[in-house]
Structure 1
């Protein structure tokens, strides 16, 4: 069975001014801690407590914004503690979510050009970020790193930093996780839809801007659509949700450009399928669980 940081039975509850309740589930990110954050957020949303205005699950915590004139702080804390107890003592630990295929042009010219402009702020001035990532993970080549990156599933642990940016945690045994340090000095530029990596987390930059994660490629389709032109954004301008499971799929330039054309025409749809995320199965046999999750996309 995969070892993971222990998750305390009871979280730490603190207040942020008059309008925020912060629930710290664990100091370290783990599948178990993140599952607890998402499960509590889901249950709290279903409770539909008057006065609760925002529910924001993160890597290993939960932030709740509320109106103290509508729901007293002590009443809210009691309700959230009851939900935590419900999650801790649940007979099964599952979440209904979805698995999504994300096409990525790895080792693309856009991120390579950007990386070349910022080598002075990088640990390895020669080569590119993929070369550095391969070395850091004791892999033979950048191609081997890319294979390891797209052959496993990634759990969206939280969404934030900038609008729509997903942080993703690899569903593999801890000793097999890809880990890469951030740039020594952050960049002032990162192409929109860059697939990045810092520490143990992958991400997709939703918009162009500053950044410090290593850059491995560029996603072919948007993940943030303020105009909500595409069907996948009909309900909300932000595509990813905490608890989503991502499967990166490598594409070459021709397919990347074809997808871009579909986006421009308003016709692109992400391949996705509903899936039940089972924490125990993910911890017991992550390799097999990865295969089982990926099979959900067959026929979509």
Structure 2
């Protein structure tokens, strides 16, 4: 309904603010539910988020095919969301974990090394995710060159294993522990990107993107879950801190890739992101020290 560029920009700005507030609130609820069940279930929540994105894309394509206007589409989604909130709000946990005397202060003033390290791990993962979201199609088109109709196969491969990985990650966490899963995830991200860089053919690049999807699938859910268990910050503040650091990677990663690709090549850009992803494997063991 925006009548000008500035109206659209303002609407998207407040949409982004509200979306991240919702993200933090929902994940805080997830931390509370995990505490009630006393087992790892956060990754499955994020798996449902991935499925929602998949079905949302299908629904959007169907709306276009059925010649339904964007205005009608958005109003329908708005009404569905309001109904979901009205029905399920009474079942939500009423408050965050109780604030102890050691959990006061502002978000960054009370941040400890444990939450900061988790934020850096989330940063590396979101840089990798942003790379896949914004540059996977470009990489396939300009480097792999698979032919018409196959340009998006890398992105589809990444999203499929990302969703699948989130439905299996909780079992891996309960069996091997979060630190080992984080280390393996970082290795998978780095390996997948390097495979696609070193062997830029259709089958090998697709395999590489499948590995990146598995690698990124469990990191952000694990980061949110572990941040919610901070001994110094209440869950909502810890999640807000990790989310802020992590989303900087989502914001800064894609344009940095573009600048490097312009100066050299897209393969060099992906090689750099492979190193960033590998950073997760090196940072994760230090979480034990500060836990």
- Same fold flag (TM > 0.5): no
Q: What is the TM-score of this pair, normalised by structure 1?
A: 0.25
Decide which structure has greater helix share.
2
Higher relative contact order (CA 8 A, sep 6+): 2
Q: What is the TM-score of this pair, normalised by structure 2?
A: 0.26
Decide which structure has greater strand share.
1
